[in-house]
Structure 1
Amino acid sequence: MIPFVNLQKQRDFYKNEFLEAEKEVLDSGCFIGGPQVDNLEKELVDYIGLPDLQAISCGSGTDAITIALMALGLKPGDEVIVPDFTFIAPAECVALLGGTPRFADINNQTLQIDPESVRSLITDRTVGIIGVDLFGQCAPFEELRRISDKHGLWLLEDAAQAYGAKCGNQTACTLGDISITSFYPTKPLGCYGDGGAMFTRDSQLAEKMRMLANHGSKGHYHHEILGLNSRLDALQAAILRVKLRHLKDELEIRRNNACKYDELFHDSNISHKLGDPIPQTLSPGNESSVAQYTLLAQNREKFIEILKGIEVPYCIHYPAPLSEQKCFREILADKTGNGPVYTPNAHLASTQAISLPVCAFTDVDEIIGRIKNF
């Protein structure tokens, strides 16, 4: 059986490096913070290549969003615009802090947040915008920045799926006032548990986020603000440092795998027999981390039956827009009186989007061969 993400093969490939890194941590007796975490934060910035950027590690990508929102001063009643077609975390964190998520529609080809929809949602209660780099491609941050500057809003980049991606001559994790990423195991750069990081060039925001991630403290038992317990384990940092050394090569393989799929699905004869799936469009100038290889299938059920028959794994991201989730419908009905704005492209994507294996240790040639044989 082909795994959707082949973490075991990746571990086998770097086994000696992992064992050495893990032994170093276990022998050190330093399991939270310490040199491994400090070195990881430095290496994350070095990889991106902006000397004035600061990386602050934390316990998960979701924690990273929460801490970033706290640092940006989100208050109960504030409205934040988020895409309607994505993982729950951005909107969930806004709501948990007492804010109101407002759901923007997406572009029906790139699947990224639609700037025109963002403009239509701005009110006198709007304080910020969260752009999500969905499936590894950067959101349209140049346009989002123009909107945020015009209206005096902060801009948060959720690059949970996109560390290593590029937007023109800029790099993911540098596109917001604060940017975040996730080290969940299946991400292009993932550890063996939960982990995350925040990035900013604002030294005051960086200092505040470090405090927030450590119970609001700069030192032992001196707490200046209320914070969280969200610290990265040294063992996870050591694993990430090994993987980071190989990330450039892995991303190149992911992109080559995506090109192979593109060639397959742009063959109209093959595509028609599969239910006409159309690959997610890559915006000109963007370079994706290809966290997933995602298609829009007009007849998704037919495509799924074919994939099952030839034993090719797939994933559905995401089966319902966030505005249709019960928790948000209740929040919006209570705070706005009329529920969310309808988002036709997000609703359509939730019925059509389907992802195929694409990681550096997936035999994409085998998958393509099975599809062609079908």
Structure 2
Amino acid sequence: MISFVNLTAQREKYRFELEKAEREVLDSGCYIGGPQVQALEKELSEYLGENTHAITCASGTDALTIALMTMDLHPGDEVIVPDFTFIAPAECVALLGGIPQFADIDRETLQIDPKSVKKLISKRTKGIIAVNLFGQCAPFKELREIATKHKLWIIEDSAQAFGARTSQMACTFGDIAITSFYPSKPLGCYGDGGALFTANEAFAQKIRMIANHGSAGRYQHEIAGMNSRLDALQAAVLRVKLKHLDEELVVRRQNAAKYDEFFAEYNCIVTDGQKIVPQKIETGCKCTYAQYTVLAENRESFIQKLKAAEIPYCIHYPAPLQEQPCFKVPIAVCGMMMTEEEWAANQTGAEWASEHAISLPVCAFTDVAEIIEKLKAHL
């Protein structure tokens, strides 16, 4: 059976290093904070550049919440988020009383569309959360120009893209950046975990306080915060995996290139009109390929072929965020409710992607050649 993310094979390869690191933590009696967490934060900072502060926390979602609290988000403030992504960015805004405004995406790259961002800016807009979706960096040059013009902050959601590179490293574009260490991420631990990154010393100090009950010192609570800590065992695991991250990312990119070559050949000879086009990766971007995502004209037909070939797949994401029950509101145009025909004619990029995007296994321990042979037999 092919795994979507082969964590078992990864652990087997690094078993000696991982077990040694795990024993050291268990034998130390220091399970929260301490030298392992401090060492990991230093190594994460060095990976991104020594002027970048790295602060770990309990999850990527916590990291987003802490980032928004650091930016003093107040009830009624608006934050622009992509409509096609995981719910966390919009959810965290809403939980703090803010109002998420949903920007459309580019249909080829699947990243947030700066033109859509511009249209959403109002007097209540405070910032933008840009997601590095599927491991590719969002269009930060254009987003930064917009943010500077309108005096907005940018939070970079790099939950899927720690280790990506373009003009600079992912996790260094935003005023604050976050990542997730969920096990299936390119850099994952054995449970939940996350981190925040910033070059701003004042932000870094505030982030640390918020994550520690708003405390800068024992029983001295300067602001209302939360309890969000990465435990020492997860830090030890991440320190081992961080050493191997770049070599794994090379393999992920090689795997993606094999898929690219296969689908380019397939689209040249397709006879049923059902093209399968890979997500466009912008020139110069070294994507982490958190997953390998394609856009299938007839996704259901493709799924049936994947099932017949016993190839695992995932659908990210089956509906735009503003279509989720917790956010959905009636859509009106010029004061009139839209008909189904009008809705189809005005379909957004996010709606289109939610109907066509599907992801395939691509991790460094996936035999993509085997998957391609299985695909050839069923496409």
TM-score, scaled to structure 2? 0.94
In the other structure, the counterpart of 2:194 is 196
In the other structure, the counterpart of 1:344 is 348
In the other structure, the counterpart of 1:96 is 95
In the other structure, the counterpart of 1:118 is 117
Distance of 1:25 and 1:271 partners within structure 2 = 55
Going from structure 1 to structure 2, the CA distance change for 1:217 and 1:343 (only over 3 Å counts) comes to farther
In the other structure, the counterpart of 1:12 is 12
Give 3-state SS (helix, strand or coil) of 2:257's partner. helix
Deviations 1:201-222 (A, max 9, x none): 0000000000000000122211
Q: Aligned partner of 1:354: which letter? A: I
In the other structure, the counterpart of 1:60 is 59
In the other structure, the counterpart of 1:37 is 37
Query: Cα offset for 1:329?
Result: 1.8
Query: Cα offset for 1:372?
Result: 1.6
In the other structure, the counterpart of 2:303 is 304
Q: Aligned partner of 1:208: which letter? A: K
In the other structure, the counterpart of 1:259 is 257
Q: Aligned partner of 1:315: which letter? A: C
Q: Aligned partner of 1:35: which letter? A: P
Q: Which residue, out of 220, 225, 228, partners 1:227?
A: 225
Distance of 1:252 and 1:9 partners within structure 2 = 17
Which aligned pairs between 1:208-357 and structure 2 lie closer than 5 A?
208-267=206-265, 268-269=267-268, 275-329=274-328, 344-357=348-361
Distance of 1:359 and 1:236 partners within structure 2 = 20
Q: CA RMSD in A?
A: 1.8
In the other structure, the counterpart of 2:340 is none
On the 8 A contact 1:84/1:343 being kept in 2, the answer is: no
Query: Cα offset for 1:38?
Result: 0.4
Going from structure 1 to structure 2, the CA distance change for 1:20 and 1:325 (only over 3 Å counts) comes to same
Distance of 2:272 and 2:95 partners within structure 1 = 45
Which aligned pairs between 1:76-95 and structure 2 lie closer than 5 A?
76-95=75-94
Going from structure 1 to structure 2, the CA distance change for 1:152 and 1:257 (only over 3 Å counts) comes to same
Gapped runs of 5+ residues in structure 1? none
In the other structure, the counterpart of 1:154 is 153
Query: Cα offset for 1:196?
Result: 0.2
Runs of 4+ with >3 A deviation: 269-274
Q: Aligned partner of 2:51: which letter? A: D
Identity %: 64
Distance of 1:215 and 1:177 partners within structure 2 = 22
Question: How many residue pairs were aligned?
Answer: 368
Going from structure 1 to structure 2, the CA distance change for 1:8 and 1:294 (only over 3 Å counts) comes to same
Distance of 1:183 and 1:38 partners within structure 2 = 16
On the 8 A contact 1:80/1:100 being kept in 2, the answer is: yes
Query: Cα offset for 1:275?
Result: 2.8
Q: Aligned partner of 2:43: which letter? A: E
Deviations 1:138-160 (A, max 9, x none): 00001000000000000110000
Q: Aligned partner of 1:41: which letter? A: E
Query: Cα offset for 1:80?
Result: 0.3
Give 3-state SS (helix, strand or coil) of 2:326's partner. helix
Give 3-state SS (helix, strand or coil) of 1:286's partner. coil
Deviations 1:339-367 (A, max 9, x none): 9x976110000000000000000111100
Query: Cα offset for 1:286?
Result: 1.1
Give 3-state SS (helix, strand or coil) of 1:247's partner. helix
Deviations 1:25-47 (A, max 9, x none): 00000001100000000101111
Q: Which residue, out of 182, 207, 232, partners 2:205?
A: 207
Q: Aligned partner of 2:173: which letter? A: L
Q: Aligned partner of 2:354: which letter? A: S
Q: Aligned partner of 1:26: which letter? A: L
Deviations 1:248-294 (A, max 9, x none): 10000000000000000011245556931100001122110110100
Query: Cα offset for 1:373?
Result: 2.5
Deviations 1:26-81 (A, max 9, x none): 00000011000000001011112x22110000000000000000000100000000
Distance of 1:90 and 1:347 partners within structure 2 = 18
Distance of 1:114 and 1:76 partners within structure 2 = 26
Q: Does 1:370 align with 2:374?
A: yes
Distance of 1:338 and 1:258 partners within structure 2 = 45
In the other structure, the counterpart of 1:22 is 22
Going from structure 1 to structure 2, the CA distance change for 1:338 and 1:210 (only over 3 Å counts) comes to farther
Q: Does 1:47 align with 2:47?
A: yes
Distance of 1:91 and 1:348 partners within structure 2 = 20
TM-score, scaled to structure 1? 0.95
Query: Cα offset for 1:167?
Result: 2.1
